[in-house]
Amino acid sequence: MSKGKFITIDGVEGAGKSTQIDLICSYLHRKGIEVVRTREPGGTEVGEKIRSVLLDVENQEMHSDTELLLMFSSRNELIQNKIIPALNDGYWVVSDRFTDASFAYQGGGRMLNLDRIAELEDWVLGDFKPDLTLLLDVSVEVGMARIESRAAKDRIELEEREFFERVRSVFISRSEAFPERIKLLDASGAVDDIHSKIRALIDSL
Ligand code: Z5A
């Protein structure tokens, strides 16, 4: 059995990740490809517990380094116990967010040193990386407007607009630094138009 492919999808809040992942999974199923869908932080039993701590609005005092380390702890659990076994069994894995989000949110948003994040990436991932990363890019304004009607915001969503502008800017720089892997897509248009661009990228895998 051949190894599966690993696709990650990222972007600021409200970029449409979940919407596009639904369509990607249906598309892969129609092509006869078995898919494991997951998310970060979370995606495993331990990871989901870490996610609750990370997003809990009660934890306002959490130190930024703690936040970063928890993101990578959840990621390690996911890679070792879910992603690598699934890929080895021939499944394709689609993850709602991955390591690029740590560079964008903790590096950009929290202004942590990007080299230190790269050290953690090296420790936890080694040579392992996604086959394709879809970066859905919308302005912070558009993203926020799309999620405005949600009942409650989580701990990170409570941040100021400037925080999310820095997040977006690091995402864009990463897509320029790693153009082979990270494909930036203008996600401000219609859902179907974005999906057809994504299908073309998936077909090229
Ligand atoms: N985080 C971190 O800090 N560091 C890390 O390393 C990692 C994560 C991995 C968890 O995020 C939080 O963890 C996140 C980053 C941080 N923090 N924040 N804030 P999450 O991924 O679970 O949640 P999210 O980022 O807040 O995702 P989201 O708000 O659910 O957005 P989305 O999945 O991109 O969007 P959506 O649910 O598909 O769409 C939102 C709405 O827009 C919905 O009503 C759709 O119908 C609508 N939509 C979607 N596409 C369109 C288009 N094209 N046009 C118009 N309307 C649309």
Nearest atom, ligand 1, residue 72 CA:
6
Tell me the pLDDT of the chain averaged across its residues: 97
Domain that holds residue 84: 6-203
- Closest ligand 1 atom, residue 157 Cα: 19
Give the C-alpha separation, 190 to 205, whole Å.
Answer: 24
Q: 195 φ, ψ to 5°?
A: -60, -40
Residue 151 pLDDT exceeds 90: no
Residue 111 is assigned to a structural domain of this protein: yes
CATH code of the domain covering residue 134: 3.40.50.300
pLDDT digits (tens, 9 = 90+) for 75-113: 999 999 999 999 999 999 999 999 999 999 999 999 999
Q: What single letter denotes the amino acid at residue 102?
A: S
Tell me which residue has its CA closest to atom 4 in ligand 1: 102
**Number of domains observed in the structure of the chain:** 1
129 is a domain residue: yes
Tell me the β-bridge partners of 9: 96, 134
Q: Which atom of ligand 1 is nearest to the CA of 99?
A: 6
Q: Is residue 81 part of a domain?
A: yes
CA–centroid distance, 136 to ligand 1, in Å, is 10
pTM for the full predicted model: 0.97
CB atoms within 10 A of CB 155: 16
Q: What is the pLDDT of residue 1?
A: 61
